[in-house]
Amino acid sequence: KAGVTQTPRYLIKTRGQQVTLSCSPISGHRSVSWYQQTPGQGLQFLFEYFSETQRNKGNFPGRFSGRQFSNSRSEMNVSTLELGDSALYLCASSLIGEGYEQYFGPGTRLTVT
Residue from 13, 22, 103, 109 touching another protein (CB under 8 A): that is 103
Task: Give the 3-state secondary structure of residue 26.
Answer: coil
Residue from 21, 102, 110, 112 touching another protein (CB under 8 A): that is 102
Is 66 within 8 Å of 34 (Cβ atoms)? yes
Instruction: Select the span of 13-21, 69-77, 79-87, 99-107 touching another protein (CB under 8 A).
Output: 99-107
The 3-22 contact track toward another protein, x by CB under 8 A, reads: xx------------------
* Pairwise CA distance, residues 96 & 86, whole Å: 31
First to last CA, the chain: 37
Give the footprint of another protein on residues 26-65 (CB under 8 A): 33, 35, 42-45, 48, 55-59
Examine residue 108 and tell whether it contacts another protein (CB under 8 A).
no
Contacts 24+ apart (CB under 8 A), 39-48: 43/90, 46/76, 46/89, 47/76
In total, the chain counts a number of residues equal to 113
Residues lying near another protein in the complex (CB under 8 A): 3-4, 33, 35, 42-45, 48, 55-59, 90, 92, 99-106
